[in-house]
Amino acid sequence: MKRPDSAALGKQAEKLLRLPSGWVTSRKAVSGLSGWRRGSIPALLSILVAFLLVFHATVPNTIGRLGSLLETFLPWLGSAVPGLLALALLRRSFVALIALLLPVVAWISLFGYLLFPSHESAGEITALQHNVSDENPDPAGTARILIKAQADLIALEELTPSALPALAAAMAPDYPHHATKGTVGLWSKYPLSDVRPVDIRPEGIGEDWNRGLRATARTTQGDVGVYVAHLPSVRVGLSSGFSSAWRDESAVLLGEAIAAERLDKVILLGDLNSTLDDRGLAPVSSQMNATGSGFAFSWPAALPVARIDQIMTRSATVTDFWSLPATGSDHLPIAAHIRL
């Protein structure tokens, strides 16, 4: 049998595989697509990131409290921008590059002020907030680190009966005034009066759970109501999602206490177990101010990704935040200047 001619076979194959007119038939043609037509997927991803940044409140909390989980780490959505930029450049897509402006503008509008130092003069009060951890192996050493910040007010949480004496002794020379209620405490360079516990216990928690106090600090700028609070922890699990029901309930009680405060000027210091973007803290954050510059991530201490420790004010201005060196805690201390 005569072998088919290879050239003839090639022509027949080319005829069979020929596509209709107008179809893309080569890699060269694909690469030749207009930059305005390529990159639809990176563009859509950019639009999605921008939407989540601006309209994060539309993400429901009904399933695993996904909305609160997103809001806890909301600034980190900006980390998607470098990857989307790389995709846009790889695809040589004008559309993807233009769409990328949406998450960039959204992120800057929400968090850009945190990147720039405040132009305000130093505040009259420096406040410091720290969860010292109930497993802290060196409470006296922690106190020495905190004293170096020269804060006027220091709020501490997770105070244990065994650690409290060492902390109090180390801080006494610099802070002659202090008050504790349960596992929270306040150390002050100003005289303190009208000290009382603040009941922020969620329903079902025993009476020995005391994580809130209120005091009047007699500053050179007048009396200031100072609150120290430690809201319940949250949990993240595959079955339960973002579990924050107790934290949210405690935030409502704290918000009610602050709303009823008779003094005009108020400072809140505490481990609130979430960021201020989390809607679960709205009962508190809606009536307080915490807009100073600086991210001051505080948790976890080994690789901080969120500021769940907060310094907030009413009828006063937080000018800037910063984190302090690590102590024996799983939180970093944070500090802020406050202009009354």
The domain that holds 334 is classified in CATH as 3.60.10.10
User: Are 205 and 273 within one domain?
Assistant: yes
Average pLDDT over residues 242-266: 94
Q: Please report the pLDDT score of residue 308 as a whole number.
A: 96
Using the 3D structure, point to which of 80, 97, 114 is the last residue of a domain: 114
pLDDT at 238: 54
Got the DSSP string for 278-308?
-GGGHHHHTT-B---B-----BSTTS--B--
Please tell me whether residues 132 and 247 are part of one structural domain: yes
pLDDT at 119: 55
pLDDT for position 122: 57
Residue 16 has pLDDT above 70, yes or no: no
Within-domain flag for 5: no
Which residue reads 């929270």 in tokens? Answer: 184
Same domain assignment for residues 198 and 106: no
Same domain assignment for residues 292 and 273: yes
Let me know: does 271 contact 129? Beta carbons within 8 Å. Answer: yes
Is residue 22's pLDDT more than 80?
no
* Ramachandran angles phi, psi of 151, nearest 5°: -75, 155
Question: Which one-letter amino acid corresponds to residue 147?
Answer: I
Q: Residue 282 and residue 168: Cα distance in Å, rounded?
A: 33
Judge whether 11 lies within some domain.
Answer: no
Structural domain that includes position 201: 118-339
Q: What pLDDT sits at residue 26?
A: 42
User: Phi and psi (nearest 5°) for 195?
Assistant: -80, 130
The label of the residue with tokens 């027949």 reads 12
Note whether 178 and 259 are same-domain residues. Answer: yes
Long-range CB pairs of 166-172 (<8 Å, 24+ gap) are 166/139, 166/140, 167/132, 167/139, 167/140, 167/142, 167/143, 169/140, 170/139, 170/140, 170/143, 170/144, 171/143, 171/146, 171/147
pLDDT tens digits for 170-225? Answer: 999 999 999 999 999 999 999 999 999 999 999 989 889 999 999 999 999 999 99
Name the average pLDDT for the chain.
88
* Same domain? 40 vs 97: yes
**Do residue 230 and residue 326 come from a single domain?**
yes
Token pair in block for residue 187:
């150390």
Domain match, 100 and 165 both = no
**What pLDDT was estimated at residue 158?**
98
> Which of 114, 148, 176 is at the close of a domain?
114
Same domain, 237 and 127: yes
- Final residue of a structural domain among 98, 114, 130: 114
- Is residue 179 in a domain? yes
Question: Binning pLDDT at 50, 70 and 90, where does residue 255 land?
Answer: very high
- Split at pLDDT 50, 70, 90, the class of 36 is low
Asked whether residue 124 is assigned to any structural domain, the reply reads: yes
User: CA nearest 56: which of 66, 47, 46?
Assistant: 66
Highest mean pLDDT among 15-24, 87-96, 309-318: 309-318
Same domain, 100 and 131: no
Q: How many CB atoms lie within 10 A of CB 240?
A: 10
Burial (Cβ within 10 Å: 0-12, 13-18, ≥19) of residue 143: buried
Q: How much is the pTM?
A: 0.81
Residue 165 belongs to a domain? yes
- 158 and 220 fall within a common domain: yes
Residue 1 lies in a domain: no
Distances (CA, A) of 261 to 198, 214, 254, 312, 328: 11, 10, 11, 15, 34
Q: Is residue 2 part of a domain?
A: no
User: Do 224 and 169 lie in a common domain?
Assistant: yes
* Domain count for the chain: 2
Q: How far apart are CA 72 and CA 234, in angstroms?
A: 11
In-domain check, residue 4 = no
